[in-house]
Amino acid sequence: MNNEQWFRIPDWPTLRTVLLWCLVIDLLFFPIYGGVNWLTSQRNDLLALYLPIELDIPLVPAAVWVYLSLFLLFCLPLFTIPRERARSEALAAILGLLVAAVLWLLFPAQLGFERMLPAGYETLYGVMFTLDAPHNLVPSLHIVFATIAVSACGEGAPRAIKTALWAWLACIAASTLLTHQHHVLDVATGLLIALGCRGIALGRSPQSYLQPVPHLVKEQKG
């Protein structure tokens, strides 16, 4: 498989299929995420699911740009996921959302960091805080969706591109901590849930993520 086959301008049937599944995910995301966040905000039994040492992680305001790059990552499936795999990848995201919602309800969490508006970023952080109450924490849905997107878009990609995508994911994961949006447990559980849900949706084992891509093996042998 060459680069043109991995990254392609989608034809209309593919574009329609991917966008329809994106719409389904959006229609589920907003009521579930917002509803659970509101329910948790009404509870008094919130858990501190973090280590005290994590509160020493500094706030790096500029990391918000990496944090928000998730929305740029969301555009990549349009150009990399074939039509026949769009349904399975969307189901992985939906399953990840549902599993996350159940865990948010079972383990209602509170953010250990005190939210503040850093100088020069008051508007951006203010909007982010308004739209996202600090309760849907374990797992981080930001990481769930980012991991599914990276693993889905990286399938069949050349080694250098796949490495770059996973490096991007690592940066996004770090940004959730440096913007004080999440804690370490949130990130770890988000990664594991994403890989597990995608494995279920595609009928694969977790070990498959560690196996080399067949076409790359052939290229190396050649």
Please tell me the predicted confidence (pLDDT) of residue 215.
Answer: 47
Backbone angles phi, psi at 109, to 5 degrees: -115, 160
Q: Which amino acid is at 34?
A: G
pTM: predicted TM-score of the whole model, two decimal places: 0.89
Please tell me the predicted confidence (pLDDT) of residue 207.
Answer: 60
Backbone angles phi, psi at 81, to 5 degrees: -100, 120
Please tell me the predicted confidence (pLDDT) of residue 186.
Answer: 97
Structure tokens at 18: 């991917």
**Residue given tokens 């769009």 in the structure block:** 86
**Residue given tokens 């949006």 in the structure block:** 181
Please tell me the chain's helix, strand, coil percentages from 3-state DSSP, rounded to the nearest 5: 70, 0, 30
What residues of the chain score a pLDDT lower than 50? Answer: 1-3, 214-222
Closest to 104 measured CA to CA, from 50, 32, 52, 196 = 32
Backbone angles phi, psi at 167, to 5 degrees: -65, -40
Q: Is the Cβ–Cβ distance between 110 and 47 less than 8 Å?
A: yes
- Per-residue model confidence as pLDDT tens digits over 160-185: 999 999 999 999 999 999 999 999 99
**Helices 83-106 and 141-153 sit at what angle, rounded to 10 degrees?**
160
Please tell me the predicted confidence (pLDDT) of residue 217.
Answer: 46
Please tell me the predicted confidence (pLDDT) of residue 109.
Answer: 93
Q: Is the Cβ–Cβ distance between 109 and 49 less than 8 Å?
A: yes
The size of the chain, in residues, is 222
The set of residues, in sequence order, having a beta carbon less than 8 Å from that of 85 and lying 6+ positions away, is: 152, 155, 202
